[in-house]
Amino acid sequence: GYRVGMQTGDIQHAMFNAIQHIKIGFISGQNLIELEKKVLMFGKEMTEYNQMTSYQLLLTIKQAVTDLILSTNDPFVMAENNAEQNSLFLQATEANSLVVECELYIFGSIVAYIYNSYDLAAALIQKRFELEKKMSRTILWWGATAFYDGLIFLALAHKSSQFEWTAEVSKVMSKMEGYVQIGKSNHEHKLLLL
């Protein structure tokens, strides 16, 4: 899609496909260094072709990739990353870009889960749920959003005795079962992992 868009002059379509390619790579566990290279390459093209909406969406992925690559406890690095993330949230809020804001919550919750910060991950999910009420449709990412929500809620259910998390797990399992009915080959493995 990217190549055809660039060849036919549909730059917006090309950049949309580049973002989807990177998202799929992230969700499927592609090497983060390789993903970072693609983010930088496509980011440069997006700014050259003045595709700023695409670039804002790309920055949400870039933040997550950078957070995972750095994986440091250095307070200066953490403060710099936090400042960048806060800046992205502020820009998304000021521009009323619900999709960018939502993706920041999704990627943030995944990163928090990977770092065992389950309470933070759940807080980001709850903020996303509130935001999704304002959106005409939610971001599903081929069932990956529900899958990570399920992992986070399962981790919290194991960690605490609060019934709330078990109820959330049940909701996610129901969603995943619905996704399996729609596309078994894309979703059944995620359901079984949960």
Both tokens of 98, joined, read: 């619900």
Phi, psi of 72, deg, nearest 5? -130, 160
Q: How far apart are CA 157 and CA 118, in angstroms?
A: 10
Scanning the chain, the segments in alpha helix (DSSP H) are 2-8, 11-27, 32-48, 52-70, 75-94, 98-114, 118-132, 144-159, 163-182, 184-193
pLDDT 10s digit of each residue in the chain, 194 long?
999 999 999 999 999 999 999 999 999 999 999 999 999 999 999 999 999 999 999 999 998 999 899 876 555 565 566 677 778 778 877 877 888 899 999 999 999 999 899 999 999 999 999 999 999 888 878 789 999 999 999 999 988 877 889 899 999 999 999 999 999 998 899 999 99
Q: Are 66 and 36 in contact (CB under 8 A)?
A: yes
| Among the listed residues 163, 166, 157, 71, the one whose alpha carbon sits nearest the alpha carbon of residue 114 | 71
pTM value?
A: 0.88
Rounded Cα gap, residues 71 and 177, in angstroms: 34
Closest CA to 144 of 165, 122, 172: 172
Question: Across the chain, which distance is largest between two alpha carbons, in Å?
Answer: 57
